[in-house]
């Protein structure tokens, strides 16, 4: 795993500065502490930080072909590079190293941009083609690795993280009101936007080309949820799932450095570890995080699995003083990010890095196998469609809007009023109608105008008719790459740890998209087919315990240990003077949460994250870059 950065200038401009490229790379030191490099070829400059995983001595970057026509920086792993390499060797290509990076260069020379479809991996790469005078970049199908860019007619800048781009002196730090509007609705930023007006994120499954001032972006992969018709026998699907998942785990265990796995005791991570144990000749190293709060501690569940599989197990309990790492979290996440499970993710990555350089995770299991509780709730919420829309919007809506923010019935009534038949009861992030009360009038106007002006992103494929499958498609396209994978990438790279997700092998994902929904969510039981596989490998207790996400007990923290921290930070004159919020509404949220009349911990956390981001990246007296 690595960090990449670079700049390409239009003809007639001076070449990129080697010193600037080196500074950009240094900002990514945590992503690659094992080596660095800068390469300038005419008007193109590439920079790299390396975390050595495969071919520890021969994979240094930037890497060039022998004739110098092609050069590349690459972040990630191509799990099938040996297969692609064998194909290229049969076509006459020779290789100097054992690295997957060199295989990418040869594949581009052989097949051009279409080479990207031949790889199975997690990646973000940038390749300078001197002959065509163009920069080619691509991001993996599901969005595991990040790629940020700022493009104009004069230059293209790119990097693995936003903070590297901020090393460019004349890159504006203007806040994108549409992105802030989205953060205050979903607690994350997506859709290709970033918190900065002039910087974008390359979407998953897309490739980019910048050539003498002209930028083109194209999709190269589309996931289609099209269940087999007619369906095959259930046992046929089970056997194919077992084979595909076992192969996915095997590929992700290939490493020249120490390997381990995250273990929560839930279905997803436990199955990954069980398959690792079956493929390994030594005990698998496993890592678990817990809390001293009832309902938030999975340590004992993980112990049961660890004992059953004979793993080399380690644990860590997170205390309420975890808020002390808020500054480090703001630094590593680069823009406001409101998923508080970033805290345990950050800690489990720190713990794992003490004993391993690569860790496997269960990420993607809920999206691929329909595991979220909200899918079942969406089926239940379909009954609201029976209420005429004029009743829901004309009567229930005004009643909900008239209730105070802290009224107990407001959330429920608002959900009915804004019921969407295409996604009933589906809700991600923090409630937007609370946002409307909280925002200062002038900023609300600016944010709404900026959001309305945002270009719409066309869907990759028509949404499925089946409700649960439709929600799966929505989550895989947005929630997975914009929340889950961002969370894991930034937390792991903060500690120079590579995390691999076997459930997100694109071949496995495509296979499960063809599996009938009845084998995912059946009679209220989620992950039906995966559970059948798991029962061959794990104790029954794994499948009978209630589902528990990677949640943080922030509700009680903000009422007790962190109460004063939240008040001091959010009611500080600097925070209130930013003009985003009504001060009295911020105080009301804190007061209502403290009294226990409503749980506003999600909002309190998001406001804290936003304030810390400003202090880390914008405020002149406290910013770090």
Distance CA 224, CA 17 (A): 44
What is the sign of the dihedral through the CA atoms of 225, 228, 234 and 236? negative
Which pLDDT band, with edges at 50, 70 and 90, does 424 fall under? Answer: low
- Which DSSP category does 320 fall into? G
H or E element in which residue 391 lies: helix 389-391
- pLDDT tens string 467-495: 999 999 999 999 999 999 999 999 999 99
Dmax over Cα atoms in the chain, in whole Å?
73
Q: Please provide the distance, in angstroms rounded to a whole number, between the alpha carbons at the two ends of the chain.
A: 23
pLDDT of 99 reads 93
Tokens at 77, concatenated: 């792993």
Average pLDDT of span 108-132: 98
- pLDDT tens string 499-550: 999 999 999 999 999 999 999 999 989 999 999 999 999 999 999 877 766 6
Asked whether the beta carbons of 520 and 526 are under 8 A apart, the reply is yes
Residues 6+ away with beta carbon under 8 Å from 463: 422, 470, 473, 474
Q: CATH number, domain at 13?
A: 3.60.20.10
Distance CA 290, CA 301 (A): 10
Is the same domain home to 45 and 194?
Answer: yes
Tokens at 417, concatenated: 């009023």
Is the same domain home to 10 and 120?
Answer: yes
Least confident stretch, 80-89, 354-363, 397-406: 397-406
Half-sphere exposure of 15 (CA within 13 A, CB side): 12
Q: Report the percentage of the chain scoring pLDDT > 90.
A: 73
- pLDDT tens string 147-183: 999 999 999 999 999 999 999 999 999 999 999 989 9
The closest alpha carbon to 125, from 170, 75, 195, 183, belongs to: 75
What is the overall mean pLDDT for the chain?
92
Among residues 525, 544, 563, the one where a domain terminates is 544
Is the same domain home to 201 and 92?
Answer: yes
Tokens at 412, concatenated: 């429920």
Sheet order of strands, 259-262 included: 312-318, 285-291, 259-262, 358-360, 498-500
pLDDT of 609 reads 94
Which pLDDT band, with edges at 50, 70 and 90, does 197 fall under? Answer: very high
Is the same domain home to 248 and 209?
Answer: no
Is the same domain home to 63 and 115?
Answer: yes
Place of tokens 């493929």: 279
pLDDT of 531 reads 97
Among residues 482, 509, 544, the one where a domain terminates is 544
Is the same domain home to 538 and 593?
Answer: no
Average pLDDT of span 250-262: 93
Asked whether the beta carbons of 286 and 260 are under 8 A apart, the reply is yes
Asked whether the beta carbons of 520 and 527 are under 8 A apart, the reply is yes
Is there a domain that residue 250 lies in? yes
Residues 6+ away with beta carbon under 8 Å from 528: 518, 519, 520, 521, 522
Least confident stretch, 70-79, 131-140, 592-601: 592-601
Distance CA 290, CA 274 (A): 21
User: How many Å separate Cα 379 from the centre of its chain?
Assistant: 26
Half-sphere exposure of 381 (CA within 13 A, CB side): 23
H or E element in which residue 507 lies: helix 506-514
pLDDT of 322 reads 66
Is the same domain home to 53 and 193?
Answer: yes
**Per-state percent for the chain, helix, strand, coil, to nearest 5:** 45, 15, 40
Is the same domain home to 27 and 100?
Answer: yes
Half-sphere exposure of 302 (CA within 13 A, CB side): 25
Residues 6+ away with beta carbon under 8 Å from 375: 468, 471, 472, 521, 526
Which pLDDT band, with edges at 50, 70 and 90, does 432 fall under? Answer: low
Tell me whether residue 276 is exposed, middle or buried, using C-beta atoms within 10 angstroms of its C-beta: 0 to 12, 13 to 18, 19 or more: buried
Is the same domain home to 112 and 213?
Answer: yes
pLDDT of 550 reads 66
Which pLDDT band, with edges at 50, 70 and 90, does 426 fall under? Answer: low
Average pLDDT of span 101-107: 98
pLDDT of 577 reads 93
> Whats the size of the chain, residue-wise?
625
- Which DSSP category does 540 fall into? T
Q: Where are the beta strands (DSSP E) in 503-595?
A: none
Is there a domain that residue 625 lies in? no
Q: CATH number, domain at 240?
A: 3.40.50.620
pLDDT of 63 reads 97
Is residue 431 over pLDDT 70? no
Is the same domain home to 244 and 215?
Answer: no
Is there a domain that residue 384 lies in? no
pLDDT of 427 reads 58
Is there a domain that residue 192 lies in? yes
pLDDT of 162 reads 98
Tell me whether residue 303 is exposed, middle or buried, using C-beta atoms within 10 angstroms of its C-beta: 0 to 12, 13 to 18, 19 or more: middle
Which pLDDT band, with edges at 50, 70 and 90, does 437 fall under? Answer: confident
Which pLDDT band, with edges at 50, 70 and 90, does 395 fall under? Answer: confident
Q: At what angle do helices 506-514 and 234-252 cross, to 10 degrees?
A: 170
Residues 6+ away with beta carbon under 8 Å from 584: none
Average pLDDT of span 112-128: 98
Is the same domain home to 142 and 289?
Answer: no
Is there a domain that residue 398 lies in? no
Is there a domain that residue 28 lies in? yes
Q: Who wins on pLDDT, 255 or 25?
A: 25
Number of domains in the chain: 3
- pLDDT tens string 198-218: 999 999 999 999 999 999 999
Q: Who wins on pLDDT, 460 or 211?
A: 211
pLDDT of 104 reads 98
Is the same domain home to 566 and 535?
Answer: no
β-partners of residue 8 are: 44, 156
**Could you tell me the CA-to-CA distances from 20 to 47, 60, 137 in Å, in that order?**
10, 20, 20
Average pLDDT of span 249-261: 93
Is there a domain that residue 214 lies in? yes
Distance CA 26, CA 35 (A): 10
Is there a domain that residue 15 lies in? yes
Is residue 252 over pLDDT 90? yes
Residues 6+ away with beta carbon under 8 Å from 239: none
Asked whether the beta carbons of 41 and 128 are under 8 A apart, the reply is yes
3-state SS string for 124-172:
EEEEEECCCCEEEEEECCCCCCCCEEEECCCEEEEECCHHHHCCCCCCC
Asked whether the beta carbons of 247 and 272 are under 8 A apart, the reply is no
pLDDT of 544 reads 86
Which pLDDT band, with edges at 50, 70 and 90, does 558 fall under? Answer: confident
Tokens at 278, concatenated: 């079956």
Among residues 489, 515, 544, the one where a domain terminates is 544
pLDDT of 130 reads 97
Q: At what angle do helices 342-353 and 326-333 cross, to 10 degrees?
A: 90
H or E element in which residue 41 lies: strand 35-41
Domain range for residue 179?
Answer: 2-219
Which pLDDT band, with edges at 50, 70 and 90, does 421 fall under? Answer: confident
Residues 6+ away with beta carbon under 8 Å from 278: 246, 537
Is residue 457 over pLDDT 80? no
Q: Cis before residue 411, ω within 30 degrees of 0?
A: no
Which pLDDT band, with edges at 50, 70 and 90, does 428 fall under? Answer: low
Please give the model's pTM, rounded to 2 decimal places: 0.94
């Amino acid at each position: 795993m690595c960090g990449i950065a670079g700049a390409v200038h239009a003809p007639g401009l001076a070449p990129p500065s080697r010193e600037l490229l080196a500074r950009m790379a240094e900002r990514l030191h945590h992503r690659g502490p094992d080596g660095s490099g800068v390469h300038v070829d005419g008007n193109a400059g590439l920079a790299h930080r390396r975390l050595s995983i495969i071919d520890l001595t021969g994979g240094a970057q930037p890497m060039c072909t022998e004739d110098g026509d092609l050069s590349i920086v690459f972040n990630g792993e191509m799990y099938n590079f040996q297969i692609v390499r064998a194909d290229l060797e049969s076509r006459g290509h020779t290789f100097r190293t054992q690295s997957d990076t060199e295989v990418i260069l040869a594949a581009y020379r052989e097949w051009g941009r279409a080479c990207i479809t031949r790889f199975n991996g997690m990646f973000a790469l940038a390749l300078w083609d001197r002959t065509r005078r163009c920069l080619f970049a691509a991001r993996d199908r599901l969005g595991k690795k990040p790629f940020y860019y700022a493009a104009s007619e004069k230059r293209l800048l790119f990097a693995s993280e936003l903070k590297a781009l901020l090393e460019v002196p004349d890159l504006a730090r203007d806040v994108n009101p549409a992105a802030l509007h989205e953060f205050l609705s979903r607690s994350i930023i997506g859709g290709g936007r970033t918190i900065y007006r002039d910087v974008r994120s390359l979407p998953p499954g897309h490739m980019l080309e910048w050539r003498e001032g002209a930028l083109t972006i194209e999709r190269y992969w589309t996931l289609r949820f099209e269940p087999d018709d007619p369906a095959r026998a259930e046992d046929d699907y089970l056997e194919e799932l077992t084979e595909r998942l076992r192969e996915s785990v095997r590929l992700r265990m290939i490493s020249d450095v120490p390997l381990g796995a995250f273990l929560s005791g839930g279905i997803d991570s436990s199955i990954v570890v069980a398959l690792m144990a079956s493929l390994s000749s030594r005990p698998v190293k496993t890592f678990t995080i817990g809390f001293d709060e009832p309902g938030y501690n999975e340590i004992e569940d993980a112990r049961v699995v660890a004992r059953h599989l004979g793993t080399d197990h380690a644990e860590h309990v997170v205390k309420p003083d975890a808020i002390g790492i808020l500054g480090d979290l703001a630094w590593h996440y680069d823009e406001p990010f409101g998923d508080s499970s970033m805290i345990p993710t950050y800690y489990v990555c720190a713990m794992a890095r003490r004993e391993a350089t690569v860790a496997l995770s269960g990420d993607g299991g809920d999206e691929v196998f329909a595991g979220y509780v909200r899918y079942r709730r969406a089926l239940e919420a379909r009954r609201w469609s029976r209420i005429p829309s004029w009743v829901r919007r004309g009567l229930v809506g005004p009643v909900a809007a008239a209730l105070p923010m802290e009224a107990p019935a407001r959330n429920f009534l608002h959900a009915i009023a804004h019921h969407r038949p295409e996604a009933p009861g589906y809700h991600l992030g923090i409630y937007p109608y609370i946002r409307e009360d909280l925002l200062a009038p002038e900023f609300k106007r600016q944010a709404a105008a900026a959001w309305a002006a945002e270009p719409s992103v066309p869907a990759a494929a028509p949404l499925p008719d089946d409700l649960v499958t439709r929600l799966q498609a929505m989550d895989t396209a947005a929630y997975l790459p914009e929340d889950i994978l961002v969370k894991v990438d930034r937390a792991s790279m903060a500690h120079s740890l590579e995390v691999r997700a076997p459930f997100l092998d694109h071949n496995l994902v495509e296979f499960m998209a063809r599996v009938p929904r009845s084998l995912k969510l059946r009679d209220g039981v989620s992950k039906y087919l995966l559970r059948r596989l798991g029962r061959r490998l794990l104790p029954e207790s794994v499948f009978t315990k209630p589902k528990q996400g990677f949640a943080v007990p922030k509700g009680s923290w903000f009422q007790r240990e962190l109460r004063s921290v939240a008040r001091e930070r959010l009611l500080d004159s600097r925070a209130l003077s930013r003009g985003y919020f009504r001060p009295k509404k911020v105080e009301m949220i804190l007061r209502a949460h403290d009294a226990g009349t409503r749980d506003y911990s999600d909002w309190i956390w998001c406001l804290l994250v936003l304030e810390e981001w400003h202090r880390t990246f914008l405020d002149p007296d406290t910013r770090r870059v």
